Amino acid sequence: MSIIKLARPEIQALSAYKAAAQVDDTVRLNANESPQDTSIGNFRRPLNRYPEVRPRRLQEALAARFGCATDQLLVTRGSSEAIDLIIRTFCRAGRDNVVIPSPSFSMYAHYAEVQGAEIKEVPALAERDFHIDVDALLDACNEATKLVFICSPNNPTGTPILRDDVLRLIQQRSETSAVVVDEAYIEFGDQASMIDLLDEFPNLLVLRTLSKALGFAGARCGAVAGSEDVISMLNAVQAPYALATPVVECVEDVLQADQLALAEESVREVVAERERLIAAIDEFEFVRKVWPSDANFFLMRVTDPAFILQHCIAHKVLLRHFDGDLSDCIRITVGSRADNNRLLQALRTMVEK
Ligand SMILES: Cc1ncc(COP(=O)(O)O)c(C=O)c1O
């Protein structure tokens, strides 16, 4: 069953923006562009012209990479934009809600707040190593729950969410909510993507990004994959010409085989460094617990987070701290071997003081 009917009624009725036609070998006097070729840098396409409304070749390449049909994927400005688009498409301000395990990536709640949707957070307890509680998530859902967000591996805990747990959510909410599985960090772990389930479950949406394993956070490129009808609805909501020409060309280049091989090598190094760093950090007395991670970061519980953070800042190393239930925890992103050694050195000088 299509979940289009769950979207805001005005979005269900919305048509995609009708942009000026772009046809090869024609004189383009239909888009109020400048006739002057302003091309700077080495771009293949002229910068005085608008980019494609949606970058079709990029869409094809990313769909092939992530394993879905081209029309099951929308290219977005980072997966952050996809989160925003999905919430704006499905949630009516003041009426609908989103269900989110906590702790998880804060952007889901942020964009829900921007849209005026209610946020229902369901604890994923540290004592259970932050695994989601499917029954509690289902209990939190009601008829106004349009979206359930699952981040796997989860940010900021690094926890891979069990496929069977996500499947149960998708199945139990099949007629009533979309389940958004955010796979931003999937390349750093062993779990398979859930994108292969798109044909089976029309209420599944999968987020991917080029910001992490592929190393292109600066290019702002990600994607949302889902059933064709939902993707076409999100397409109508997204701004026309969302992906700029320099970004499109840069990402097309990244998707060449030699670049992908470099990215894969970098992921292997990060995973090896993650395990080395976790082992070294676990030895410090101020560390009470380090959680295993399937991502390019890990979370640790420490005795005096404020002191550690300040000491590291003094050594020009930035770590991430959170409020609330994680206030005694610090998240460490795995850097290069040299970066990680610098962190370890800073921590050694702290305990030697
Ligand atoms: C879980 C998760 N999803 C999505 C994003 C957004 O990534 P981007 O917008 O760069 O694709 C992040 C960024 O840190 C993240 O941690």
CA angle 175, 154, 261 (to 5 degrees): 105
> What mean pLDDT do residues 46-64 have?
95
Average pLDDT in the chain: 96
Instruction: Give the confidence band of 41 by pLDDT, cuts at 50, 70, 90.
Output: confident
Q: Write the residue with the smallest CA distance to atom 12 of ligand 1.
A: 184
Asked if 254 and 214 count as a contact pair (C-beta separation under 8 A), the reply is yes
What's the count of helices (H) and strands (E) in the chain, helices before strands?
11, 11
Which homologous superfamily does the CATH classification assign to the domain defined by 259-352? Aspartate Aminotransferase, domain 1 (3.90.1150.10)
Crossing angle of the two packed helices 78-90 and 107-115, in degrees rounded to 10: 40
> What mean pLDDT do residues 326-350 have?
96
Q: Does 65 score more than 80 pLDDT?
A: yes
CA dihedral defined by 9, 10, 12, 13, rounded to 10 degrees?
130
The tokens 């998708």 sit on which residue? 170
> What mean pLDDT do residues 245-262 have?
92
pLDDT digits (tens, 9 = 90+) for 164-199: 999 999 999 999 999 999 999 999 999 999 999 999
Residues with CB under 6 A from ligand 1: 78-80, 105, 151, 155, 182, 184, 209, 211, 217, 222
Backbone angles phi, psi at 52, to 5 degrees: -60, 150
pLDDT of the residue at 312: 96
Please tell me the least confidently modeled range out of 115-119, 216-220, 348-352. 348-352
Q: Does 86 score more than 70 pLDDT?
A: yes
Kindly give the number of the ligand 1 atom that is closest to the alpha carbon of 222.
11
**Bridge partners of residue 150, in order along the sequence:** 181
pLDDT of the residue at 172: 98
pLDDT of the residue at 12: 96
Tell me the residue type at 245.
T
Q: Does 241 score more than 80 pLDDT?
A: yes
pLDDT digits (tens, 9 = 90+) for 101-117: 999 999 999 999 999 99
Instruction: Give the confidence band of 353 by pLDDT, cuts at 50, 70, 90.
Output: low
Asked if 98 and 91 count as a contact pair (C-beta separation under 8 A), the reply is yes
Measured in Å, residue 103 CA sits from the centre of ligand 1 at 15
Q: Which of 206, 211, 221 to mutate to test the pocket of ligand 1 (most atoms within 8 A of CB)?
A: 211
Q: Does 351 score more than 90 pLDDT?
A: no
Measured in Å, residue 82 CA sits from the centre of ligand 1 at 10
Asked if 145 and 168 count as a contact pair (C-beta separation under 8 A), the reply is no
Q: Write the residue with the smallest CA distance to atom 8 of ligand 1.
A: 78
Q: Does 39 score more than 80 pLDDT?
A: no
Q: Which residue has the higher pLDDT, 46 or 153?
A: 153
CA-closest candidate to residue 223, choices 196, 246, 205, 244: 205
Q: What is the share, in percent, of the chain residues with pLDDT greater than 70?
A: 99
* C-beta pairs of 10-16 under 8 Å, 24+ apart in sequence: 11/88, 11/89, 11/90, 11/233, 11/236, 11/237, 12/233, 14/233, 14/236, 14/237, 15/236, 16/232, 16/235, 16/236
Q: Tell me the C-alpha distance between 101 and 195, whole Å.
A: 21
The pair of structure tokens assigned to 198 is 């798109």
CA-closest candidate to residue 72, choices 249, 233, 260, 220: 233
Kindly give the number of the ligand 1 atom that is closest to the alpha carbon of 81.
9
In this prediction the pTM is: 0.97
Kindly give the number of the ligand 1 atom that is closest to the alpha carbon of 151.
1
pLDDT of the residue at 38: 79
Q: Does 40 score more than 80 pLDDT?
A: no
Cα distances (Å, whole numbers) of residue 312 to 17, 282, 341, 344: 49, 17, 13, 10
Q: Tell me the C-alpha distance between 252 and 326, whole Å.
A: 39
pLDDT of the residue at 42: 82
Measured in Å, residue 36 CA sits from the centre of ligand 1 at 37
Pick the CATH number of 4-255 from 3.40.640.10, 3.40.30.10, 3.40.50.1370, 3.30.530.20: 3.40.640.10
Kindly give the number of the ligand 1 atom that is closest to the alpha carbon of 185.
1
pLDDT of the residue at 37: 83
Measured in Å, residue 184 CA sits from the centre of ligand 1 at 6
Kindly give the number of the ligand 1 atom that is closest to the alpha carbon of 77.
9
